[in-house]
Amino acid sequence: MRGKRMGKVPIKSRSYSLWLMILPLYLFTLLLVAGPLIYMVILSFLTRADGWGIVNKFTFDNYINIFDPVYLNTFVESFRLAILCTVLIILIGYPFGYFMATLSPVWKKRMMMLLMIPFWTSSLIRLYGWIIIFRANGTLDQILMGLRLRDTPLKLLYTYPAVVVGMVYALVQFMILSVYSSAEKLDWSLLEAARDLGASSLQAFFTISLKLTLPGLLSGVILTFIPSMGLFFIADILGGNKVVLVGSLIQDQLMKAHNWPFAAALSVVLMLLTTIVIFLYKRITHTTEIEGVG
């Protein structure tokens, strides 16, 4: 007993220095994450002063305001765009991630590298590439007109489809990576067994592969759906002023209308929607970690 205790620092001073290690995270989280978020909720119940600033008067008006058809419509539009993008991302990204998992180990590594470069490339650079493609007489128009599919430029820049392409392009890698990480763990012999027992390829895919890669698919949905509600700069740059998302609305209320309490209320609602999506995800998959993030 005595011999064993000899070298040890008393428990109290030991936990003291350990507390010092986690203290910065506690302080930072409290002051710079929890604090701002709580302030956002408080702000959403305050009244806007004439012109600049805020008056400390409690009100529900900011929330009632959201039900104004103009703003409500923005939420609906944002949701529609997010759903459309997510569906397209599933259709494009799922097969990509799934096929990637069937590659040989060497090619898996190469493919991963190929995916990582665009992923790490500034989102603005990639966005700029799409401007070159979409602008009037840009790459797309030149190809279409060169192939004599069209006589006049398509002028896709500043249209809804351009925004959709930009969003899908910006987010599809999250889907690919999370489907891949799920499909990689797949036991392919199960598929062969199913085929041997007479299932068609499609049957085998839907009964086995799809089921087992569902967690990856769902976490991909989370990783794409949530950001697509807020990526206002893509809508801004590729859509001109034609596509207004909740994100753009919040920015306008903050920067142009200077109605901070309303911007806060919009953010609270967006945050709640996000939380509901994450909650549903956890409910469906019974997990706490989102695959492909860590």
**Sites for other proteins among residues 153-182 (CB under 8 A):** 169
Residues 264-283 that bind other proteins (CB under 8 A): 264, 267, 270-271, 274, 278
Q: Contact region for other proteins (CB under 8 A) — 62-70, 83-91, 155-163, 229-237?
A: 229-237
Pair type for strands 54-55 and 47-48:
antiparallel
Note the residue count of the chain. Answer: 294
CB of 244 to other proteins, least distance (A): 13
By CB under 8 A, how many residues form the interface with other proteins?
86
φ/ψ of residue 48, rounded to 5 = -80, 135
Q: For other proteins, which is the closer residue by CB, 119 or 160?
A: 119
CB of 184 to other proteins, least distance (A): 13
Q: For other proteins, which is the closer residue by CB, 182 or 253?
A: 253
CB of 67 to other proteins, least distance (A): 20
Task: Give the C-alpha separation, 173 to 179, whole Å.
Answer: 10
CB 291 within 8 A of CB 178: yes
Residues 2-61 that bind other proteins (CB under 8 A): 7-9, 14-15, 17-19, 21-22, 24-26, 28-29, 32-37, 39-40, 43
Q: For other proteins, which is the closer residue by CB, 70 or 202?
A: 202
Q: Work out whether 235 is an interface residue with other proteins (CB under 8 A).
A: no
Q: Contact region for other proteins (CB under 8 A) — 63-71, 106-114, 155-163, 212-220?
A: 106-114
Q: Work out whether 251 is an interface residue with other proteins (CB under 8 A).
A: yes
Task: Give the C-alpha separation, 259 to 160, whole Å.
Answer: 28
Q: Which helix (H) or strand (E) holds 55?
A: strand 54-55
DSSP state of 59: -
Binding mask 57-96 for other proteins (x = CB under 8 A): -----------------------------------x--xx
Task: Give the C-alpha separation, 45 to 274, whole Å.
Answer: 20
Instruction: Return the amino acid letter for 275.
Output: T
Q: Work out whether 128 is an interface residue with other proteins (CB under 8 A).
A: yes
Q: Match 């008393």 to its residue by tokens.
A: 10
How many whole angstroms from its chain centre is CA 117? 19
List, in sequence order, the alpha helices (H) in 184-258.
188-196, 201-204, 210-230, 232-239, 246-255
